[in-house]
Amino acid sequence: MAILERIYIRPATYDRIRARWLGPAIEQYVVWLTQRQTSRSTILRAVQTLEQFDNFVRARGAQSWQDLPQHVAPFINHHMQQRNLPCLTKRNRGTILSQSRTPVEQMLRLIVPGFVGTTRLITTRPFEAVPGFWSFLEEERGLSPDTLRGYIHCLRSFDRYLQQAGVTDLSTLSPAVIRQFVEEQTRTRSSSLRLQKATGIIRVFLRYLRRQRITATDLSPTLERLQHYRQAKIPRSISWEQVRSILAAIDRRAPIGKRDYAILLLLLTYGFRANEVAHLMLDDIDWKRDRVCLRQRKGGQATTMYPLSPQVGAALVDYLQNARPKTDHRNLFINTCSPYGPMRMHGVSHRAGVYLRRTGVTTPRPGSHTFRHTCVQRLVDADFSFKTIGDYVGHRREESTHIYGKIAVETLRNVALGDGEDVL
């Protein structure tokens, strides 16, 4: 049975689609979506948009598929105008824009050679022309995929800035241009730690340019080393009452709620990092021995085994039986929207931040690390040794745990909420 017959019930419907000028392209696109395990409702909505696109381009006199890219922007404007934009919220406008643009551009990538479009599609890394740079990072330095994504994000900003500044030949790179880029990053990056990481990445790149003799001198010393003091900030932990309110706010009737509830329990119970949660596999849950095996640790640390608590186990069972999409991926946590791929660390952190903001909990940089800090702080308040806590949450240095012991968080909360005479 052909793919359209499996999607549509009425023969007249798929006969109408095949009879269109773009019929073969639409059917090819539907096959591509099906291979990516896209939901039927999403496919139906995409095909409806493509039928409208077919009507639009035929009315404008398109003669070949090679002519289609020039009609994309006019079609999107026409489609948006038909939806009565002044009456829509900003969020709804963004949804309609995505629904009108994404199917068209995805289909054109399949049928028009060389077409890229404007939707988010990262196909190349910045500075691919620099010989061996990314191999150097992957093989010589042994950077993890998550760390490489940070390099890609930062160097893409640097590459974009150089293009705007008219620097097309890296051999002409000057200290003045580099300092101007850092000044721009200082204005846009809210955290001194993020700025420190960005300048460190640029410094590695500049050293490599000198190593390959692309630049005449080593330009990395022109980047000033920013000071970041380990004990300068307090932990981002929240009270246990706030934790209860966050967990209670999760709608566990929905599949996404079942998944997010299990994720937050893992963050709170074991102090896992976002990337550690994202890398958990189905085989890492040992149901016979009631254990959780954590293999992907920061810095390549040894595999760690944790006891599977009854509450975490019950949440995982509920998610696996009633919410996890059917997919061939072995990752424990899967995106709830098609295509059903594994969650990434940024997705885990984002979902944690969603519930912090939804319940009105104020904390700097709301995300998964807030729950990790809360787990560690609770262990400190329970008088566990720093060595024990550090081993439990995977700190490579004992100094990383000391920051949680420099203040008595619960005592200070009591002072802030009351007159404080009983605790002073």
The domain that holds 200 is classified in CATH as 1.10.150
Are 203 and 247 members of one domain? no
Q: Give the count of beta carbons closer than 10 Å to the beta carbon of residue 122.
A: 10
Given this model, what pLDDT does residue 308 score?
94
Q: What is the DSSP annotation of 289-321?
A: TTEEEE---GGGPPPEEEE--HHHHHHHHHHHH
Q: Give the count of beta carbons closer than 10 Å to the beta carbon of residue 72.
A: 20
How far apart (Å, rounded) are the C-alpha atoms in residues 283 and 304? 14
Q: Is residue 234 part of a domain?
A: no
Q: Is residue 281 part of a domain?
A: yes
How many domains does the chain contain in total?
A: 3
Range of the domain at 299: 240-417
**Are residues 17 and 51 in contact, defined by beta-carbon separation less than 8 angstroms?**
yes
DSSP state of 285: E
Q: How does residue 61 score in pLDDT terms, banded at 50, 70 and 90?
A: very high
Q: How does residue 424 score in pLDDT terms, banded at 50, 70 and 90?
A: very low
Q: Give the count of beta carbons closer than 10 Å to the beta carbon of residue 413.
A: 13
Given this model, what pLDDT does residue 366 score?
87
Are 267 and 183 members of one domain? no
H/E run at residue 264? helix 255-270
Q: Is residue 424 part of a domain?
A: no
pLDDT, average across residues 16-40: 89
pLDDT digits (tens, 9 = 90+) for 91-127: 777 788 888 899 999 999 999 988 877 755 444 678 8
DSSP state of 33: H
Given this model, what pLDDT does residue 379 score?
85
pLDDT digits (tens, 9 = 90+) for 315-344: 999 999 999 988 889 999 999 877 788 999
How far apart (Å, rounded) are the C-alpha atoms in residues 209 and 218? 8
pLDDT, average across residues 266-286: 93
- Which residue has better confidence, 295 or 405? 295
Are 31 and 168 members of one domain? no
Q: Using the 3D structure, point to which of 222, 248, 281 is the last residue of a domain.
A: 222
CATH number at residue 395: 1.10.443.10
How far apart (Å, rounded) are the C-alpha atoms in residues 219 and 206? 6
DSSP state of 166: T
Q: Is residue 96 part of a domain?
A: yes
Are 181 and 54 members of one domain? no
Q: Using the 3D structure, point to which of 51, 80, 111 is the last residue of a domain.
A: 111
Q: Using the 3D structure, point to which of 77, 111, 145 is the last residue of a domain.
A: 111
- Which residue has better confidence, 386 or 202? 202
Sheet holding 291-294, edge to edge: 285-286, 291-294, 304-307
- The answer for residues whose C-beta is within 8 angstroms of residue 118's C-beta and 6 or more apart is 101, 105
pLDDT, average across residues 61-70: 92
Given this model, what pLDDT does residue 122 score?
46
pLDDT, average across residues 238-252: 92
Are 188 and 321 members of one domain? no
Are 315 and 256 members of one domain? yes
Are 275 and 176 members of one domain? no
Given this model, what pLDDT does residue 121 score?
45
Q: Is residue 423 part of a domain?
A: no
pLDDT digits (tens, 9 = 90+) for 176-223: 998 888 888 777 665 666 778 888 899 999 999 999 999 999 998 888
Given this model, what pLDDT does residue 126 score?
86
Of 30, 45, 38, 33, which is closest to residue 101 (Cα–Cα)?
45
Are 154 and 297 members of one domain? no
Given this model, what pLDDT does residue 145 score?
79
Are 206 and 247 members of one domain? no
What phi-psi label fits residue 121: left (phi over 0), alpha (psi between -120 and 50 degrees) or beta? beta
H helix count then E strand count, the chain: 19, 3
DSSP state of 226: P
Are 11 and 158 members of one domain? no
Of 292, 274, 290, which is closest to residue 282 (Cα–Cα)?
292
Helix 175-188 vs helix 145-164: crossing angle, to nearest 10: 110
Which residues are annotated as catalytic?
Answer: 273, 298, 369, 372, 395, 404
Given this model, what pLDDT does residue 147 score?
84
Q: Which of 102-116, 157-171, 408-422 has the lowest mean pLDDT?
A: 408-422
In angstroms, what CA-CA distances link 190 with 123, 262, 340, 345, 414?
Answer: 28, 31, 33, 21, 31
Q: How does residue 244 score in pLDDT terms, banded at 50, 70 and 90?
A: very high
pLDDT, average across residues 49-68: 93
Q: Is residue 388 part of a domain?
A: yes
How far apart (Å, rounded) are the C-alpha atoms in residues 178 and 158? 9
- Tell me the pLDDT of the chain averaged across its residues: 84
Q: Is residue 88 part of a domain?
A: yes
Q: Is residue 355 part of a domain?
A: yes
Are 55 and 201 members of one domain? no
Are 204 and 336 members of one domain? no
